[in-house]
Amino acid sequence: MRWLLILMWTVGAVLIAACGGDEGEDAPARSTPQSTAPVNNEDAQEVQAAPASQGIDRPISVAPLPTPAKQVYTIQFGDTLSGIAARFGTTTGALVALNDLPDASLIVSGDQLIIRQDAAVLRPAAPRLSQLESVELLRVIDGDTIEVRQADGTEERVRYIGIDTPEIGEPLFDEATDQNTELLGQGDLFLQTDLTERDRFERLLRYVWVRQADGTFVFVNGTLVALGLASITTFPPDVAYVDLYQEAQDLAQGARLGVWAEPEQP
């Protein structure tokens, strides 16, 4: 029997060695299998680019429009104090106190009414950077018209949406043109569309923005209105900033800025 047990043990050891057996402490460690599937470079680029593209497509930082330190309104025929208060977002009581009025009904057409003593803050609604087109300025025609070169090399004449500045030969033509030139020279030029692509003269219709060195954007159309060098001329459906224009024009009129100044007496 002894020889039979020895034979069985020997056969078992041979079979275990042939099958590899269990790995013990002395067995070499197995390396982690690496995938050999080809890498899709486009997918990798999309993953890496996603955070950057999300950062680019963000609302821009906009500068407030210039406004007078003191807001004054010239009373028009038919105005009521309650109507003026509603228009400017204040109360009749506040207007009575600011202007020392003995009675809320005692307002006279042509008189000036103080709306507020501190400067109002008018900040345009910020478009997303992806909504703006970067262009090169070629020439300033006047206060509301310029010529630009687009990224593909196309040269276009651009008419500012919603505003009208003095024409050549009219008072303040030079001032409006010079102010437009100064604003456009403050940084990089960008255009924003509304709903209508071109006017009847085949000019591009655009809102115009300038990115300054600190990264903030100046709204050129609205700034010209706020300075009294442009008046509102809106043509639906292109009315994205009409409410802002109206507020800016009311302030400019109240302060008698630019085209709203009283004519000089001969």
Q: Please count the other Cβ atoms lying within 10 Å of the Cβ belonging to residue 101.
A: 15
Output the six-digit token pair for 241.
């900033």
State the residue for tokens 């569309």.
Answer: 193
State the residue for tokens 């206060």.
Answer: 143
**How far apart are alpha carbons 264 and 266 in whole angstroms?**
6
State the residue for tokens 């009219």.
Answer: 170
- Rounded (5°) CA angle 55-57-59: 100
CB 158 within 8 A of CB 147: yes
CB 139 within 8 A of CB 181: no
Q: Which residues of 2-30 are buried (b: 16+ CB within 10 A; e: fewer)?
A: eeeeeeeeeeeeeeeeeeeeeeeeeeeee
Output the six-digit token pair for 201.
């003269």
Point out the residues that are catalytic: 159, 167, 203
Instruction: Provide the strand spans (E) within 130-226.
Output: 132-140, 145-149, 155-160, 163-164, 188-192, 204-211, 217-219
